[in-house]
């Protein structure tokens, strides 16, 4: 049962971190610094004050517009802040301990990777590699997967998609799978163990196919953000695996 006070703490932490992560998602692919320079309106360049930077609240009060020029504020800010708040509330609300903190960190990283891959087909090493490290360390508080299974999962996850990428390129003479996808699946293996990988891949493939069909882009040449679907498939696939092993 979810505990209200820890859930509130997790939601507030998620909102605050989500504000930073949204800025990271918007600036990083453009080569802009996330740490230098104060936040400013993309339309008029006005430096944003404290009342403009309250996660979720500021955007709602200004109706998603800059108070000076009326320019539209990218709705990604509010969506990422809300997503991180939900992740924090659920993770820490259900598990108000180090395990819940570990789940929250994993969820926040996966959300960031999912959006980056969806928007830019990019899964940066600066996120996937630390995520794998966390799987071998604080991941032990989130799951009861044995260290041996984590190691096998990391190697198998990375190796499986690496082999597919090499095979595809050998046959089609062009790249068909990014190494970021392989590193992400390896990182998920470090968190959940090798047992969860078949379910993660299957669910990710089904999600990708469903989205491609729904958008009318189910063609051989269509770019699909596999990392986005791997991130979305991670948690429910792990639940299925744990129920089977129980």
Q: What is the pLDDT of residues 55-97, one digit of tens each?
A: 666 666 655 666 656 567 778 988 999 999 999 999 999 999 9
Could you tell me if 135 and 67 lie in one domain?
A: no
Could you tell me if 13 and 127 lie in one domain?
A: no
The tokens for 134 are 């966390």
**The pLDDT of residue 51 is above 60:** no
Could you tell me if 79 and 184 lie in one domain?
A: no
Task: Give the confidence band of 101 by pLDDT, cuts at 50, 70, 90.
Answer: very high
Looking at 43, 61, 96, which one is the last position of a domain?
96
SS3 94: helix
Torsion of CA 21, 22, 27, 29, to 10 degrees: 80
Could you tell me if 167 and 71 lie in one domain?
A: no
Looking at 46, 81, 96, which one is the last position of a domain?
96
Tell me if 58 is assigned to some domain. Answer: yes
Tell me if 115 is assigned to some domain. Answer: no
Could you tell me if 174 and 243 lie in one domain?
A: yes
pLDDT at 75: 85
Could you tell me if 244 and 149 lie in one domain?
A: yes
Tell me if 71 is assigned to some domain. Answer: yes
Tell me if 110 is assigned to some domain. Answer: no
Looking at per-residue confidence, does 115 or 68 come out higher? 115
Tell me if 145 is assigned to some domain. Answer: yes
Mean of pLDDT values over 173-195 = 92
Spatial distance between the Cα atoms of 152 and 157, rounded to a whole number of angstroms:
8
Could you tell me if 3 and 75 lie in one domain?
A: yes
pLDDT tens sequence across 219-233: 656 678 999 999 999
Q: Are 82 and 22 in contact (CB under 8 A)?
A: no
Could you tell me if 149 and 239 lie in one domain?
A: yes
Could you tell me if 87 and 151 lie in one domain?
A: no
Which residues have CB under 8 Å from 212's CB, separation 6+? 218, 222, 224
Could you tell me if 148 and 237 lie in one domain?
A: yes
Tell me if 107 is assigned to some domain. Answer: no
Domain count of the fold of the chain: 2
Comparing CA positions, the residue from 229, 228, 156 lying closest to residue 192 is 156
Mean of pLDDT values over 213-218 = 72
Could you tell me if 15 and 55 lie in one domain?
A: yes
Write out the residue range of the structural domain in which residue 3 sits: 1-96
Question: Range with the lowest mean pLDDT among 26-30, 40-44, 194-198, 238-242?
Answer: 40-44
**pTM of the prediction?**
0.88
Could you tell me if 149 and 228 lie in one domain?
A: yes
Spatial distance between the Cα atoms of 141 and 89, rounded to a whole number of angstroms:
18
Tell me if 29 is assigned to some domain. Answer: yes
Tell me if 111 is assigned to some domain. Answer: no
């Amino acid at each position: 049962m979810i505990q209200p006070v820890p859930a509130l703490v997790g939601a507030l932490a998620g909102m605050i971190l989500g504000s930073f992560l949204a800025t990271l998602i918007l600036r990083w692919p453009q080569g802009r610094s996330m740490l230098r320079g104060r936040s400013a309106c993309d339309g008029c360049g006005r430096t944003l004050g404290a009342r403009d930077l309250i996660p979720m609240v500021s955007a709602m009060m200004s109706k998603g517009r800059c108070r000076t020029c009326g320019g539209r504020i990218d709705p990604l800010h509010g969506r990422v802040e809300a997503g991180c708040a939900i992740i924090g509330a659920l993770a820490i609300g259900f598990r108000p301990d180090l395990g819940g903190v570990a789940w929250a960190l994993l969820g926040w990283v996966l959300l960031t990777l999912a959006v980056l891959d969806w928007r830019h087909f990019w899964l940066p090493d600066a996120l996937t590699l630390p995520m794998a490290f966390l799987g071998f360390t604080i991941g032990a508080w989130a799951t009861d997967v044995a260290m041996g299974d984590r190691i096998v999962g990391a190697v198998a996850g990375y190796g499986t998609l690496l082999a597919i990428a090499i095979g595809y390129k050998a046959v089609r003479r062009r790249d068909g799978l990014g190494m970021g996808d392989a590193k992400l699946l390896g990182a998920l293996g470090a968190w959940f163990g090798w047992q969860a990988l078949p379910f993660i891949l299957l669910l990710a493939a089904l999600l990708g196919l469903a989205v491609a069909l729904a958008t009318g882009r189910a063609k051989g040449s269509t770019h699909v953000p596999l990392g986005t679907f791997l991130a979305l498939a991670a948690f429910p696939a792990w639940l299925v695996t744990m129920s089977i092993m129980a």
